[in-house]
């Protein structure tokens, strides 16, 4: 009942204070509303940005709207705390920055939450992955491989993470940890944790790292981290290296190697007393696969590589070997990019696990049948 009341209060606040953008928020084709001051409002539709005619009457109207939305979800934004980052009761995410930090005026992003469940079949139909590559990822989830999903902002990391979670075998206890709840996982035994910001006096903060430490004491089979942003990366690495198979997380990076280097930098950022070489060995041992996803110039989101982590070379660089990789793309008359992720000919080191489990995925699947 309380949740229903909170949602009702929020919806009333939206109708009252965000009236100029309500039609955009109600439009199912719009995935994000971007407000760059009162008279410059854009939307993302099908991966492309479009300017709209919507506008607020004044800076004060926009400021009042954001203040009231923040209050309706128990957050605050003011001169002392000029940034707002919150999950709204309907699952959408809002982020706002006040002037003078925002030079264009109060800047707001509202990323709409979609409850549509995407399956691998949908993913294949969208051209984001091929049937064989999707089957390979499903096998990796069955075998309990530790996977890092890497990509830029808005590339679809959370969607892909939820898709992978849907392939977790039955009978396991899954703990999900997020800054703001976004993952919608349809699973029998799943526990959701969400961080908490500090109060007005700086008290009561609960971080990702705090929740990761707690999760390790709550008998998890798999730990899912919505996004690794800080020193909690160290706890995730340790969990992966201490018998928790099939852990997943996302990270902002532009390639599998960049993802591993970024994870290393984040894990080193806290009070962790571990040498650089020991951390590198831990990461190389913990992560089995890095799945790289990207939003392309035509607005589509695609998996561009699935790489296995094969340890370190003699110069202590991470060795990430592409098992699948997206080659050259050709732009069609409609502006869409054509091309598929293809096997590279590299056979994963755990091929014997696939064969021992009698999974019908022969070695020939790792060789391209594409005619050159």
Tens of pLDDT, residues 16-73: 778 899 999 889 899 899 999 999 999 998 778 999 999 999 999 999 999 988 887 7
Q: Which pTM was predicted?
A: 0.84
Domains parsed from the chain with CATH numbers: 2-111 (3.30.450.90), 120-366 (3.40.50.300)
Tens of pLDDT, residues 295-346: 988 888 999 999 999 999 999 999 999 999 998 888 888 888 888 899 999 9
Tens of pLDDT, residues 241-282: 888 899 999 999 999 999 999 999 999 876 777 889 999 999
% of the chain surpassing 90 pLDDT? 56
E strands of the chain, at which residues? 30-36, 41-45, 48-51, 83-87, 93-97, 107-111, 147-151, 174-178, 190-194, 222-225, 248-252, 289-295, 301-312, 318-326, 330-331, 337-338, 341-343
Residue 1 and residue 35: Cα distance in Å, rounded?
Answer: 32
Residue 313: alpha-carbon gap to chain centroid:
29
């Amino acid at each position: 009942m309380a949740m229903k009341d909170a949602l009702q209060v929020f919806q009333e606040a939206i109708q009252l204070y965000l009236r100029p953008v309500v039609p955009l928020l109600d439009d199912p084709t719009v995935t994000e509303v971007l407000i760059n001051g009162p008279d410059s409002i854009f939307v993302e539709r099908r991966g492309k940005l479009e300017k709209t005619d919507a506008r607020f009457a004044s800076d004060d109207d926009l400021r009042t709207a954001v203040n009231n939305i923040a209050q309706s979800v128990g957050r605050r934004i003011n001169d002392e705390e000029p940034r707002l980052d919150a999950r709204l009761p309907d699952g959408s995410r809002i982020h706002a920055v006040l002037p003078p930090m925002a030079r264009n005026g109060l800047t707001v992003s509202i990323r709409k939450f979609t409850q549509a469940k995407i399956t691998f079949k949908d993913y294949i139909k969208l051209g984001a992955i091929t049937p064989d590559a999707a089957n390979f990822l499903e096998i990796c989830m069955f075998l309990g491989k530790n996977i890092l999903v890497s990509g830029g902002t808005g590339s679809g990391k959370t969607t892909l993470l939820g898709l992978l979670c849907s392939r977790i075998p039955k009978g396991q206890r899954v703990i999900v940890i997020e800054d703001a709840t976004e993952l919608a996982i349809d699973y029998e035994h799943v526990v959701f944790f969400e961080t908490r910001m500090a109060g007005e006096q700086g008290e009561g903060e609960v971080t990702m790292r705090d929740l990761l430490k707690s999760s390790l004491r709550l008998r998890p089979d798999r730990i899912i981290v919505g996004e690794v942003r800080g020193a909690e990366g160290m706890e995730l690495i340790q969990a992966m290296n201490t018998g928790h198979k099939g852990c997943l997380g996302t990270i902002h990076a532009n390639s599998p190697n960049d993802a591993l280097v970024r994870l290393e930098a984040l894990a080193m950022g806290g009070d962790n007393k571990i040498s650089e070489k020991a951390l590198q060995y831990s990461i190389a041992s913990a992560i089995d696969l890095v799945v790289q996803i990207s939003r392309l110039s035509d607005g589509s989101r695609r998996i561009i590589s699935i790489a296995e982590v094969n340890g370190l070379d003699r110069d202590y660089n991470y060795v990430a070997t592409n098992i699948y990789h997206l080659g050259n793309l050709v732009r069609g008359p409609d502006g869409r990019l054509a091309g598929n992720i293809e096997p590279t000919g590299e056979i994963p080191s755990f091929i014997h696990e696939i064969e021992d489990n009698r999974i019908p995925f022969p070695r020939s699947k790792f060789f391209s049948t594409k005619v050159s």
